[in-house]
Structure 1
């Protein structure tokens, strides 16, 4: 079951990365992020 949970967490993280990556730099700045922050934020939100 741990494997399934890990896969779901990874999928949530990837979905978040994809969504945030589609935002413009200005939109990211409006929410206080840079492109460098995206993977870290996605991992935190996927937990």
Structure 2
């Protein structure tokens, strides 16, 4: 009986830890997305052209930057 209880508690602890890890990962990716979006939107069209980005591409570039975040 005690073994079953301990196993269930370990499973719940592991699930909770996984959930916390997933939320932290989401927050990190969201932060990168928002920061990238803000920084690229602050550039003028000439500066964006210099780095090969059109204003219509900003959201996609920010999504890609967030996707590459660990």
Whether these two folds match at TM > 0.5 is yes
Moved segments of 4+, more than 3 Å:
none
CA-based RMSD: 0.8
When the two structures are superposed, what TM-score results if normalisation uses the length of structure 2?
Answer: 0.63
Alignment partner of 1:21: what SS?
helix
Unaligned runs of 5+ in 1: none
Give the CA deviation at 1:3. 1.2
Q: How many residues align?
A: 47
Unaligned runs of 5+ in 2: 1-20
When the two structures are superposed, what TM-score results if normalisation uses the length of structure 1?
Answer: 0.89
> Which of residues 38, 43, 46 in structure 2 aligns to 1:26?
46
* Alignment match, 2:27: 7
Say which structure, 1 or 2, has more relative contact order (CA 8 Å, 6+ apart). 1
Give the CA deviation at 1:7. 1.1
Larger radius of gyration: 2
Q: Which structure is higher in helix share?
A: 2
